[in-house]
Chains A and B, each alone.
Chain A
């Protein structure tokens, strides 16, 4: 039983730069994941337009029938979002932790080109650990 189904990272223009699947259904088609990522980018922007109050920074949590989607936007516009089981707690912290990993292992990697797909081994390893830890603490609860 996985608490987290998948993780997406999109750059500031809505392009998918990282996608990882932890669910049982298997990986989504590459084209579909790209489309979903850019769709989410625009929905995020539209939700800011529709706010009744000034200072809206977009959707943080989307509650669907079979999953929850938590989104975290960094100050530079990079968006991190996880698809998890409905009612999963503590996802904000996980997202912030993933953001830390991203700054440490991706942005500080001299071979990484900004806004391009992430291919960093250290990031993958640390991410896997973080998600595993989250899963263990979820099972422990």
Chain B
């Protein structure tokens, strides 16, 4: 697994399947269990106050990790249940699903835990989490004013994250849909050419846009 790609943020961010109203909330913990960041997009039900909620979430992840490490059917040497393990040691997990939500989890080698809670139908979000981790490295770790281990207060990070999770692509989907209702296929192909010129600096968007249009043309 490669976490430290280079200075650029992963050039083609994976499609945020957690877009729109699908994402409920996100947590970032450091290895000591301090909640560095908590973002909430859609959470109708709140049973605990925020501090207790963070503690409970960290405890759940910690215990689930020791459970999976002990249950791991692929190795005989598993140690004792509940003994703290270093990040990357032992069998970990990447997501769990209940009837109301899906929780995706990633741990970096330095013990940063990123948790994204989404709609239960969301697909595999490992790439999205890795992308969010890259955002964290870029906007938080590389920020000289940030003291490690303290809650993140970077405006830039928060807005980028919001943009990513809410999914700019949503706008594109609606635009493409509107376009396809009103235009015949030949005109759409012309529009594809035009969009290449218009949006070429944003490589990935163009690519996904074009793919979408072509896809729709074929199925139409």
- State the A residues within 8 Å of B (CB): 5-6, 23-26, 32, 35-36, 39-40, 42-43, 46-67, 69, 83
Residue of B nearest to A46 (CB): B60
Is B98's CB under 8 angstroms from A40's CB? no
| Residues of chain B lying within 8 A (CB to CB) of residue A5 | 73
Residue of B nearest to A22 (CB): B73
Contact pattern, B 100-111, Cβ under 8 Å of A = 1, otherwise 0: 110100000000
Interface size on B (CB < 8 Å)? 40
B81 within 8 A of A: yes
**A contacts with B: majority SS:** mixed
B117 within 8 A of A: yes
| Residues of chain B lying within 8 A (CB to CB) of residue A62 | 64, 68, 93, 95-97
Rounded to whole angstroms, the CA-CA distance of A40 and B24 in the bound complex is 24
Is B44's CB under 8 angstroms from A53's CB? yes
Rounded to whole angstroms, the CA-CA distance of A65 and B73 in the bound complex is 11
Is A66's CB under 8 angstroms from B45's CB? no
Rounded to whole angstroms, the CA-CA distance of A64 and B73 in the bound complex is 11
Q: Tell me the B154-177 residues at the A interface (CB within 8 Å).
A: none
- Closest Cβ of chain A: how far from B123's Cβ, in Å? 12
- Closest Cβ of chain B: how far from A2's Cβ, in Å? 9
Is B73's CB under 8 angstroms from A6's CB? yes
Rounded to whole angstroms, the CA-CA distance of A26 and B66 in the bound complex is 20
Is B73's CB under 8 angstroms from A49's CB? no
Given contacts A39-B67, A49-B48, A54-B44, A64 and B92 within 8 Å (CB-CB): yes
Residue of A nearest to B99 (CB): A57
Contact pattern, B 6-18, Cβ under 8 Å of A = 1, otherwise 0: 0000000000000
Given contacts A25-B73, A62-B68, A64-B91, A51 and B56 within 8 Å (CB-CB): no
Is A58's CB under 8 angstroms from B98's CB? yes
Rounded to whole angstroms, the CA-CA distance of A53 and B82 in the bound complex is 30
Having A23-B73, A83-B71, one finds 6 other A-B pairs with CB under 8 Å, namely A36-B67, A36-B70, A53-B44, A53-B101, A54-B45, A64-B94
